[in-house]
């Protein structure tokens, strides 16, 4: 394959990654809603450890485990922020009297 072929492949893979990240974000938001109703904390270090173990176990290369974990650390940070926004928006709507 030529460089343009590889670039088209990367563009397609990027679209797939974005789609999967959006799906993951929707799942994280749903979990945030459940955490809100059960008063669970947003930050759960044991769950994050499990995610990192799963990522390392699924890794077939060529990315080194440590680099893949770094990527997932950032993904988890963003997902945790989404959950925090969910909790904050709910707190604001309750305080303003909407009662939803």
**Best CA proximity match to 35, nearest among 75, 27, 97:** 27
One digit per residue, pLDDT tens: the chain, 100 residues?
Answer: 899 999 999 999 999 999 999 999 999 999 988 988 888 898 999 999 999 999 999 999 999 999 999 999 999 999 999 988 866 666 666 566 655 4
Q: Please tell me the total count of domains within the chain.
A: 1
**Residue 26 is assigned to a structural domain of this protein:** yes
**Residue 100 is assigned to a structural domain of this protein:** no
pLDDT of residue 35: 87
pLDDT of residue 80: 93
Q: What domain range is 14 assigned to?
A: 3-95
**What's the CATH number where 7 sits?**
1.20.59.10
């Amino acid at each position: 394959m030529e460089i343009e072929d590889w670039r088209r492949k990367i563009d397609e893979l990027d679209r797939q990654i974005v789609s999967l990240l959006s799906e993951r974000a929707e799942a994280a938001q749903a979990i945030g809603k459940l955490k809100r109703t059960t008063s669970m904390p947003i930050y759960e270090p044991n769950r994050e450890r499990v995610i990192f173990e799963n990522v390392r176990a699924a890794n077939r290369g060529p990315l080194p485990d440590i680099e893949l974990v770094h990527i997932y650390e950032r993904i988890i940070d963003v997902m945790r922020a989404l959950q925090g926004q969910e909790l904050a928006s709910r707190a604001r709507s309750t305080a303003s009297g909407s009662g939803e």
